[in-house]
Structure formats: structure tokens, C-alpha cells
Amino acid sequence: MITDSLNSKALVSVLIPTYNAQNTIRELIQSIKSQSLPDNYGLEIILVDSSSTDSTIEIVKKHFPDVKIKVIKNKEFNHGSTRNYLARISKGDYLLFMTQDAIPYDNKLILNLLKNLLNDDNMICFARQLPKPDAKVLEIFARSFNYPNKKIIKNKEKIKELGVKTFFNSNVCSMYKRKLFEPPFNGFPNDIILNEDLVLAYKVIIRNKNVVYEPAAKVYHSHDYNIKQQFKRYFDIGMAFKETEALFKNISNEKEGLRMLLNQVKYLVKKKKINLILYCLTENVAKLIGYRLGKMNNKIPKNIRSKFSAYSK
């Protein structure tokens, strides 16, 4: 049921954690400021910076004096609590969380997300991620596999079909209704290494509300991780799933990894990149080992665990 309207007065808060973002922050904020919004909609941009050692803060203060910046100690950053802090100090009816390296594809990003949240049952709407122009072939495939050009409305009825991907949601670019940071949802878990977005999506779906994937809302976002970085990333993902295993204990996610691998190999054959198949297999083995070690991180000595994780602190 639609009760809100784009003709109503509302405020959108764009909330971005930053750290050493001098290479992207100016383009990102300029893109946000150029977004097409209804005349009666306001926009605020707030950054929480983890004590950058580059020119991030200076760039923002010089070029965007109206953008609010809060500085925290680097060791205080957490994917959950830092974003909850951003939500608390914001005033928006709709909260758009983005990462510092996500660049809007066009000026309709916010509008395309907003339209979905006018429906009472839709609580979260996240964007499609496109590979950057210089992305490598495996990353191009990963973006197309995880972010297809097909809209998906996810709810309890999708769990049997989609498994853990029912709860997939990405704070690279995801919009939330303000009420999700109030009881009974209470925002993101405060202390979590990763997957804070997935956990809040779980809270929404388990309460019979919807999470929407909107492919018309697009950002450029991709990475160039090597095998060691992939191992560390998946070790942290495994740790996050261990922390939240009570939520997902009956829902498998390793089958999805196998499906992705098989499709990766087919994609490489189709693109005549046979020489990358061995690298692809090695990368996926590293991901699997990292993930499984992460899930048993409580049995690994702390000094070794810190070497396996991308978050040394």
C-alpha cells in the first residue's frame, strides 16, 4: 500500500563513512549534489571520518562547506556502530548510506531508490553496482552476477528460493526508512566486523516487510583484490556469519558460492579467457578457506587471527 508521495515534504540524508578518500570524495559529493529530486525534498550530506591522514577533510571543507563532517578516532570505527551514529545525528526521513568509492551512474539514483520506499511494505532499497571502466574481467562478472538487471522484491516467501541471498543488501548504496533505526528494528548491530546491512535486512524480512533491489538505481563500484586480499575479505565474512549464526543457522550460503564459480568458468570460456580459469579456481579456493577459517575464528589464536583479517585492529 502506498501512503507516502513524492509530493509530500521530506528530507533525504546521505550518510558516508570516510577514511583517506581524497581520490573519490569530491566526485562523489558533486554527483550527490547534482541529483534530481522533487522540489519539496531536501538533501543533507553527513560524513563521519575515521581521522584520515590524507586531504579528505580539507577537500570537503574547501569545496563543500555545507557538508557536515564528524571526526572519530580510527580505532573507534565499526561498520555497525559508526553507521548507527550517522543515523542518530541525521535528520532525514530517508537515510541513504553510501561508501566513499561508490559513484552515482546518473542524476536519478536517489529518485529511483525513493520511489520504492513510498510503499508501506518496502523498508530498504539498494542499488545496482556496475564495474568501473578499468575493472578486470573477473570483477566485471562478479558485478553482473550479484547485481543483475532485474528488479527483486525480497520477503519471507523468497527464502526457500533465494536462501541467504534473500537478506542480501549492500551499504555501498542502500536507502532506509528512518523508522528502521527505532524500536523494534534498532538499526544495525553495534559491534560487527561486516554484514551489518544483511542483518538489518534480516530484521525487516522476518517482520514481514520487504527489501527491494532496484537495478534502475546504479552506482559505479568495483575492486581489484588479489588472492591474499580475497582470503582476508572472506575470512572477515566468515567471522561475520559466525557472529550472526543464530539468525542464519538453517540457511546455507556455500551453495551460492559454487553456483557463482560454475558461472564464472562458463563466462571465462565465453569471453575466450581460458588462461584465467586456473587463477579463478585458485581465487575461489582462497575464498572458501578464508570463509571457513573465519567461521571457526574463535579457535584461532588472536595473533594469527589478526593476520588473517583485513581489519588488523
Residue-wise pLDDT tens digits, 68-84:
999 999 999 999 999 99
Percent with pLDDT over 90 in the chain: 92
Residue 275 has pLDDT above 60, yes or no: yes
Residue 97 has pLDDT above 70, yes or no: yes
Residue 204 has pLDDT above 90, yes or no: yes
Q: Helix/strand/coil (H, E, C) string of the chain?
A: CECCCCCCCEEEEEEEEECCCCCCHHHHHHHHHCCCCCCCEEEEEEEEECCCCCCHHHHHHHHCCCCEEEECCHHHCCCCHHHHHHHHHCCCCEEEEECCCCEECCCCHHHHHHHHCCECCEEEEEEEEECCCCCCHHHHHHHHHHCCCCCEEECHHHHHHHHHHHHCCCCCEEEEEHHHHCCCCCCCCCCCCCCHHHHHHHHHHHCCCEEEEEEEEEEECCCCCCHHHHHHHHHHHHHHHHHCHHHHCCCCCHHHHHHHHHHHHHHHHHCCCHHHHHHHHHHHHHHHHHHHHHHCHHHCCHHHHHHHCCCCC
Burial (CB count <10 Å: 0-12, 13-18, 19+), residue 5: exposed
d(CA 276, CA 261): 13
Quick one: angle between helices 277-295 and 227-243, nearest 10? 30
> Phi first, then psi: what are they for 216, rounded to 5°?
-75, -20
For residue 18, what is its C-alpha cell? 570516510
Q: Residue 69: which of 98, 46, 95 has the closest Cα? A: 46
Instruction: Give the mean pLDDT of 121-131.
Output: 99
Structure confidence at residue 266 as a pLDDT band (50, 70, 90) = very high
- Confidence (pLDDT) at 104: 99
- Confidence (pLDDT) at 75: 95
Per the prediction, the chain carries an average pLDDT of 96
- Confidence (pLDDT) at 54: 98
Bridge partner residues of 17 (DSSP): 48
pTM (predicted TM-score): 0.95
- Confidence (pLDDT) at 289: 98
Could you report the per-residue pLDDT of 127-151, keeping only the tens digit for each? 999 999 999 999 999 999 999 999 9
- Confidence (pLDDT) at 4: 62
For residue 253, what is its C-alpha cell? 550460503
Structure confidence at residue 313 as a pLDDT band (50, 70, 90) = low
- Confidence (pLDDT) at 3: 53
Residue 255 has pLDDT above 90, yes or no: no
Reading phi first (left if > 0) and then psi (alpha if -120 to 50, else beta), residue 272 is in: left
Could you report the per-residue pLDDT of 160-189, keeping only the tens digit for each? 999 999 999 999 999 999 999 999 999 999
Structure confidence at residue 95 as a pLDDT band (50, 70, 90) = very high
Instruction: Give the mean pLDDT of 50-66.
Output: 98
